[in-house]
Amino acid sequence: MRIGQGFDVHAFGEGDHVMLGGVRVPHTHGVLAHSDGDVVLHALCDALLGALALGDIGKHFPPSDEKWRDADSRSFVRAVAGMLRERGYVLGNADMTVICEAPKVGPHAAAMREIVAADLGVDVDRISIKATTTETLGFAGRREGIAALATVLVLRA
Ligand SMILES: Nc1ccn([C@@H]2O[C@H](COP(=O)(O)O)[C@@H](O)[C@H]2O)c(=O)n1
Ligand SMILES: C[C@@]1(CO)OP(=O)(O)OP(=O)(O)OC[C@H]1O
């Protein structure tokens, strides 16, 4: 049994939606990122890679590589899931927290869980996605950006 944790932040920029857990969530802003800027999926990838001591998302999908420009972050999750399988591990469970004043995550959490579970090839009851504000404090509180945390447990298959 191994544990991993991940954290990601993206600044808000121009746009009308943010990608969160593979769901297109309408918002007053988009995010500045090389890929689609999905903080939930980036934190999840880092947690899974961390659990296996395989480095981080930037090592496997470098922002210097044009191949990943505007990439769908679900492709990162599927690739990392493959690394997990190759090494003989399965996901025990994953718990993610999105940190922002807006958009509201709760109404989209069920759809996000379904997407993450499908991409990892596990039952949805192994995937948790929740959210918090920072009560207007800090960069998230000033609505300058959005962050996500992920914790995973992986088990020998
Ligand atoms: N972006 C967010 C932030 C929060 N929620 C939900 O609201 C609850 C209360 O948030 P507090 O920061 O005031 O504790 C939180 O537990 C979430 O259920 C949300 O959906 N989206
Ligand atoms: C996802 C990658 C892909 O190039 O770029 P960004 O979308 O900028 O996201 P970040 O969370 O900074 O992670 C680094 C990269 O791997």
Give the model's pLDDT for residue 67: 94
Q: How many other CB atoms are found less than 10 A from the CB of residue 66?
A: 8
The span from the CA of 93 to the CA of 48, in Å, is 11
Per residue of the chain (157 residues), give pLDDT as tens. 999 999 999 999 999 999 999 999 999 999 999 999 999 999 999 999 999 999 999 999 999 999 999 999 999 999 999 999 999 999 999 999 999 999 999 999 999 999 999 999 999 999 999 999 999 999 999 999 999 999 999 999 9
Check pocket membership of 31 for ligand 1, CB cut-off 6 A: no
Give the model's pLDDT for residue 24: 98
Give the model's pLDDT for residue 140: 98
Report phi then psi at 39, rounded to 5.
Answer: -65, -30
The span from the CA of 30 to the CA of 130, in Å, is 20
Residue 44 and residue 152 in contact, taking contact as beta carbons nearer than 8 Å: yes
Give the model's pLDDT for residue 5: 98
The minimum-distance atom of ligand 2 relative to the CA of 60 is 16
What are the binding residues?
8-10, 34-35, 42, 56-58, 132-135, 139, 142
Q: Per-residue b/e over 23-38, b at no fewer than 16 CB within 10 Å?
A: bebebebbbebbbbbb
Check pocket membership of 143 for ligand 1, CB cut-off 6 A: no
CB within 6 Å of ligand 2 — which residues? 8, 33-35, 37, 42, 57-58, 61-63, 68
What are the binding residues for a divalent metal cation?
8, 10, 42
- The CATH number of domain 2-156, selected from 1.10.443.10, 3.30.420.40, 3.30.1330.50, 3.90.1150.10: 3.30.1330.50
Check pocket membership of 75 for ligand 1, CB cut-off 6 A: no
Q: How far does the centroid of ligand 2 lie from the alpha carbon of residue 31, in Å?
A: 12
Give the model's pLDDT for residue 75: 98
In this prediction the pTM is 0.97
Domain limits, the chain = 2-156
- Amino acid letter, residue 85: R
Which residues are CB-neighbours of 58 under 8 A, at least 6 positions away?
none
* ipTM of model over 0.90: yes
Cα 61 to chain center, whole Å?
A: 14
